[in-house]
Structure 1
Amino acid sequence: MGFGFNLGLIFIVLPLTAVLLLIWLITRKKVFRVVLILIWSGLLGLIFLSSLLRPFFNKIELDRENYTGEYIIDRSYFAGQQADWQ
């Protein structure tokens, strides 16, 4: 993951988790446990979705074989001098 993700995890998610966990351990109210589960399941879901979609958004690196090859001029479309100079 990127720098912003790590920064958000360290300064937002982990302290929030610590506070909610402490409150849940003291009060034993179900709502704090549910919020903790929702935060971490959402975070893990985003990580999974990001890793699943990464191949679709990666930059394609072209090799020489990707853009060189046989170049055939259609002489029925480009006739005469237009086709001869190539």
Structure 2
Amino acid sequence: TPLTFLGGSFYAIGMLPPFWHAVSLLNPVVYLISGFRWAFFGNADVNIAISLGMTALFLVICLGLVTYIFRTGYRLKS
């Protein structure tokens, strides 16, 4: 839930103080919301190229983690 509140879905992240703006940019939800805003309204908090790139990066990281878990059987009961 905290990622949603810092994701910019209820406000533009440009309205945040500098510290919270920097923290928001570490949140993958920001890039998804920014992409949706660009698709629907034509403007976004983050450049669309950066938004697409970061979304792809987080996707690759998550797929790599899932692949590792499936190959090693991490935390599976015998």
Asked if TM exceeds 0.5, the reply is: no
TM-score by length of 1: 0.40
Greater relative contact order, per chain length (Cα 8 Å cut-off, separation 6+): 2
Specify the structure having the higher radius of gyration (Cα). 1
